[in-house]
Amino acid sequence: MLYPPAVPDEHGLLERSHGQKIYWEALGNPRGEPIVMLHGGPGAGCSGTQRRFFDLNKYRVILWDQRGCARSAEHALGRQERETMLEHLSFENMVQDMEALRAHLKINAWSLFGGSWGTTLALAYAQAHPSRVKRMLLRGVFTSTSSEINWLYSPKGAAQMFPVEWQVFLAHYRALRSACGLSGTPSGAVADKFDAARDADDLKWQDILGVFYQALRHGTPTVQERAALAWGLWEQSIMSLQGVPSLASMEHLRNFEMGLISCHLFLHDPVLNGTQLWDQMQRIAAIPCNIVQGQFDAVTPAQTAWKLSQVLQACQLQLVRQAGHASSDPELTRALVVVLDSWAF
C-alpha cells in the first residue's frame, strides 16, 4: 500500500525574517517531478510516514514543517521565542515561506499534496502563484471558513456525531476556563443559563478557542499540559474510522503546537474565517486537481470537497466510502497512492 520507509537525501533550515527558521527535507529522484507535501493542523508537522506515499524513482519529494511547529520550532522553545513566533505567525507568511522554499530549492514549478489544513495552504499558494503549480492532490478538503471551524469546535457540528467525546472536551474547557480565571458569560450565551449543566448549547467556537488560546499561551505548565491533552484527544477522537489511538507522552509538544497555532490563526488572522479563498478560485480553475475525500470524514465533511470540485474546472473528486479523515485509513491511503502513481508529466 505505502512505499518502504525512506530517509531524506538532504535537509536544512531556511532562514526567514524575525529569526524564524523553516525546516525542509528532500528525497527521491533529483531529476524527478518535484512535489511538496503540505501537512495539516495547523501545527502538526511532517512525519516519516508521509514520505511513503511516493514512488521515489518518479518524484523529488519536498517535505517541510510550517513555521512555529515541529523542527521549524526546535530552536525557539522558550516563552519569549514563542511570543516572537506568534507575533509573526500569519497565513500570508506561511504562503510566503512556501514560495521562498521553492526559490531556495531552485524548483521552477511543483505539484502540491495537501491534507486537511494543508489544503487551505495549497489553495492559497496556488492562487498567489498559479504559474508555479503543475497540479494538486487534496485530501480532507478544509478551507478555513467560519462555518467549517464552527463544525469542529462548537456543539452544532462533529459534537453531535461524537457526543461522549465532546462532553469530555467540554469538561476540559470548563476546567481550563476556571484555571485561567475567566469569568462572566461567553459571547452569545444568556447570562442566567450559564452553568455547567446548561451552557453547552450556547457556546460558540470563538468562546472555546479563546479559552484554549489563553491556557496554551499564558497558562502554567500544568494548565498548558491539560489544554494540549484535551486538544489532542478531541482531534484524535473524530479523525479515523480505525478508532481512537492512545496519546503517547511524546505527542504533548505536537498537541501543544497544534492547539496554540490553530487558535492563534483561527481567532486572529484576517485572511481566515471568511470567503477570500473562495472568491479567488477562478485564478486556479484550470490547474489539474484530484480530490480524495473520506465519505465519513467527521473533521472536514465531504460537502466542502464536493463544492470545490464544482468550482475547479480541471478537478476530479473521489469519495472513498470506507474512510474518515485520517490518511492512515487504509482505503484512503490506497486511493492517494493510486492517484500519485497515475500522474503523468
Active site residues: 116, 297, 325
Element (H, E) at 135: strand 133-139
User: Distance between CA 132 and CA 189 in Å, rounded?
Assistant: 47
Element (H, E) at 293: strand 289-294
Cβ neighbours around 243 below 10 Å, total: 8
C-alpha distances out from residue 281 to 118, 124, 143, 257, Å: 16, 9, 11, 30
58 within 8 A of 88, measured Cβ to Cβ = no
Beta strands 110-115 and 10-15, pairing class: unpaired
User: Distance between CA 78 and CA 239 in Å, rounded?
Assistant: 30
Query: Cell for 182?
Result: 475567566
User: Distance between CA 107 and CA 111 in Å, rounded?
Assistant: 11
50 within 8 A of 39, measured Cβ to Cβ = yes
What is the total residue count of the chain?
A: 345
Q: What is the DSSP letter of 157?
A: T
Rg, Å, the chain Cα set = 20
Owner of C-alpha cell 469546535: 153
